[in-house]
Structure 1
């Protein structure tokens, strides 16, 4: 694997969990990207620095990080020697899109019980035998995460996250329109991940000038539309790989131009090639 990276990813067959990922990255740096799932992250070795919605955060071994769907983030080691992490990707409806803003405002929690429960669930997934135990542990984890998010919703925040319908300058009409335009474009991209859509086609549907469309999307989501679409395609490719499709087929299914195009973008995001990503069941 590239740079000594070690990655194991699989789908555990438990409703609500779309992927489990265990990884060791000695040097990999994640570029800015998004997921369509809630990302529940713990670090077992080292420490991680990341930008979420263009604000810097850090994650140490005593903490739990909850990254919301659709919000741009990157990632890198905070120390020499890299980091080791375990991740649960939860379906968006498990916590609800209405709580995305709270997760953007505060994505890390110092909660030993929550971290221990997540550790226990990962051990169950590694065993791969007790589905009922996994489901039981998952609902307790989700309950505690939701409690953290609801506490934040009840407290005035210093800023609001993207994807919640709330803007940093809610009194400015232009900002409100930009958010609507950006949201419509994101919906179009999400609906045609593999097929894609040209900027001109999107501009006609949204009734916005192409330049305005790109600028509005960048302001709202922190990345240009093409990078967002590439990230969504990598996400889609992950699902196909976990379903057992060969990498050569996945490139076309996920909307990449060819195998080399697919491999290059997949490795840029995840630090490993598509063939190295999924662990056969």
Structure 2
């Protein structure tokens, strides 16, 4: 019996991303079509062959494919076992229509760091519980994609910027436990979102979203020690729900919230 197609698609609560698609197709071939979004494609199993603007391309696991809005393309498996893929669809203005020609000329990118960052973003979006992390990862992905499409040498890491990092930490602290979006923080600190993430990570040894999670775990500890139940603590400390609290609490402290306060 042949395997059947598997598809999971959803619209995440992340500004700029109109759809996420995870799919396995044992035999499906896409006819020629277009999207009104930038298509950022990873192949996890198999090899995909596609025509973009009447030119044939092959995409394997080592690469990232970026397909521009409103340019016809199709898709089919090179191998008989089919293919598995993950896709991000970005709003057209996230990268800019002026980069369409560059993407048509070179839609495949061999960049292990870019692929790793996209994989990490897919993992965050699949859980749907870490908005600041999702924003941070998307910002760095878009920056690197623009560098590729503009045929720029990938920029070296920014120099240390303790002032920006310290101001961002103050903003994060001031918005506990609810948190703040990266765009809002960028406006308050007067720095580009990508620079915020890199400067903070370099200065404090962790990205902003991890710092925020640590502060929330600290809040949770205080509430737990006051005798409040874990479900209430999750809400008070800014977590999505009790399981979200438990996951991060165990990762940071090695025990569950209930074990932490057990006599």
| Partners of 1:53 and 1:73 within 8 A in 2 | yes
Whole-angstrom CA distance in 1 between matches of 2:16 and 2:3:
32
Q: Secondary structure at the match of 2:144?
A: helix
Contact 1:22–1:87 (CA<8 Å) still a contact in 2? yes
The equivalent residue for 2:122 is: 122
SS in 1 for 2:151: helix
Q: Give TM-score, length-normalised by structure 1.
A: 0.53
TM-score calculated relative to the size of structure 2:
0.57
Equivalence for 2:56: 56
Cα distance 1:3–1:70, how it changes in 2: closer, same or farther (>3 A)?
farther
SS of residue in 2 equivalent to 1:36 = coil
Q: Secondary structure at the match of 2:135?
A: helix
1:99 and 1:3 map into 2 onto residues whose CA distance is 38
Query: Are the aligned partners of 1:18 and 1:91 in contact in 2 as well (CA < 8 Å)?
Result: yes
Tell me which residue corresponds to 2:75: 75
Superposed, 1:1-281 pairs within 5 Å as 4-151=4-151
SS at structure 2 position matched to 1:4: coil
Instruction: Tell me the SS of whatever aligns to 1:62.
Output: coil
Distance 2:28 2:4 in 1: 9
Partner Cα distance (2:105, 2:3) in 1? 33
Structure 2 SS opposite 1:71: coil
Contact 1:3 1:28 in 2 (8 A): no
- 30 and 3 in structure 1: CA distance in 2 versus 1, 3 angstrom threshold: farther
The Cα shift of 1:3 comes to 6.4
Give CA deviations for 1:195-215 in whole Å, capped at 9, x if unaligned.
xxxxxxxxxxxxxxxxxxxxx
In structure 1, the gaps of 5 or more residues are 153-281
> Partner residue of 1:274?
none
Residue-by-residue CA offset, 1:238-259 (whole Å, 9 max, x unaligned): xxxxxxxxxxxxxxxxxxxxxx
For residues 80 and 25 of structure 1, the distance between their equivalents in structure 2, rounded to whole angstroms, comes to 11
| CA distance in structure 1 between the aligned counterparts of 2:130 and 2:99, rounded to whole angstroms | 30
Secondary structure, aligned partner of 1:58: strand
Cα deviation, 1:120-168, whole Å, max 9, x if unaligned, reads 000001111000100000000000000000017xxxxxxxxxxxxxxxx
Contact 1:14 1:134 in 2 (8 A): yes
Structure 2 gap segments, 5+ residues each: 153-263
Distance in 1 (alpha carbons) for counterparts of 2:78 and 2:140? 30
Please provide the CA RMSD for this pair. 1.5
Q: Tell me how far apart the structure 1 counterparts of residues 110 and 61 of structure 2 sit (CA, whole Å).
A: 10
Offset of residue 30 of structure 1: 0.1
Displacement after TM superposition at 1:80 (Å): 1.0
Separation of aligned partners in 2, 1:101 and 1:3: 38
Work out which of the two has the higher radius of gyration on C-alpha atoms and give 1 or 2.
2
1:119 counterpart SS class? helix
